[in-house]
Structures are given as C-alpha cells and as structure tokens.
C-alpha cells in the first residue's frame, strides 16, 4: 500500500516539476524511482547506463535494469559491452564513453597521494 501511494505521489510531483520548470527531457541514472516506475511525464526519459555492473542473467539487478531499458525512450551507454546489452531491449541506444583529458591527467605515487589527504597507513576501497 505504501509503495503504491509513494509511487502516486512521486508521479504527481514529477509532472508538476516538468510543467513548472518547462523540462524538455529527463536523463536519469539507475534509480527505480524514475525509470520503470514513473509514469510518462509527457517528455522523453533517457536512462544513463553508468557502467556495466554484473550482467549475468541470474543477477536480480539485471531484471530491474531490463525494466529501465524497456521503459526509457533511449539509453546512454558508456561502453560497447553496455551498448550491445542495452540494444537487446531498446533500439535507441547511444554510445557515449566516459572520457578523460589525458594531457591533464597525472598519476601520483600512492604513498604521496595518501599523505596529501591524511590517509597514510589506511586501507581504502572504492565501492
């Protein structure tokens, strides 16, 4: 019951924002609150596929991502692998790779980088 009520409120609020701000297109990441659950706001909705998590078909998240692909007007893919998978479910896929200006990118010694941010002797992970 709360999920349905939440969805109704979200849909109403989203449509109000679209009208008030005169939004032309909505680009959203992997957030179930927007793609696959939101009713058509009267504008195109594009799913920005940020990366390829676990694309195995037994992955429960893949079911949700299929919903993103199917319910979006288009998909932005950051790699050819993501593009190939998205194209199975949506014909409007654009390959838009992540980028970096190599000339401006400098590697730094790991120990020096940790010292600069006050993390000497700490183990750091990125999730």
pLDDT of residue 66: 80
Residue tagged 């993103």 (tokens):
68
Domain definitions of the chain by residue range: 2-98
CB-based burial label for 8 (10 Å; 0-12, 13-18, 19+) = exposed
Q: Which has more pLDDT, 98 or 1?
A: 98
The lowest-confidence range among 27-36, 99-108, 109-118 is 27-36
Residue whose pair of structure tokens reads 């989203």 in the numeric block: 14
Token digits for 36?
């696959």
Whole-number pLDDT of residue 93: 95
The structure's pTM equals: 0.64
Q: Over the stretch 40-63, which tens digit does the pLDDT of each residue have?
A: 667 888 888 876 666 656 667 677
- Return left, alpha or beta for 40; rule: phi > 0 is left, psi -120 to 50 is alpha, else beta: beta
The pLDDT assigned to 127 comes to: 38
Strand 93-95 to 26-28 pairing: unpaired
Task: Please list, in sequence order, all residues whose beta carbon lies within 8 angstroms of the beta carbon of residue 17, skipping any fewer than 6 positions away.
Answer: 23
93 to 9, 18, 26, 64, 89: CA distances (angstroms): 30, 24, 15, 18, 10
- CA nearest to 49, candidates 95, 88, 15: 95
């Amino acid at each position: 019951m709360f999920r349905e009520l939440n969805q109704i409120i979200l849909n109403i609020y989203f449509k109000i924002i679209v009208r008030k701000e005169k939004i032309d297109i909505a680009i959203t990441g992997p957030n179930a609150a927007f793609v696959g659950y939101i009713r058509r706001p009267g504008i195109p909705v594009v799913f920005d596929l940020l990366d390829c998590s676990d694309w195995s078909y037994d992955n429960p998240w893949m079911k949700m991502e299929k919903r993103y692909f199917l319910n979006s007007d288009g998909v932005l893919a950051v790699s050819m692998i993501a593009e190939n998978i998205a194209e199975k479910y949506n014909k409007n896929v654009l390959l838009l790779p992540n980028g970096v200006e190599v000339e401006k990118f400098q590697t730094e010694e790991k120990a020096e980088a940790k010292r600069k941010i006050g993390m000497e002797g700490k183990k750091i992970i990125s999730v």
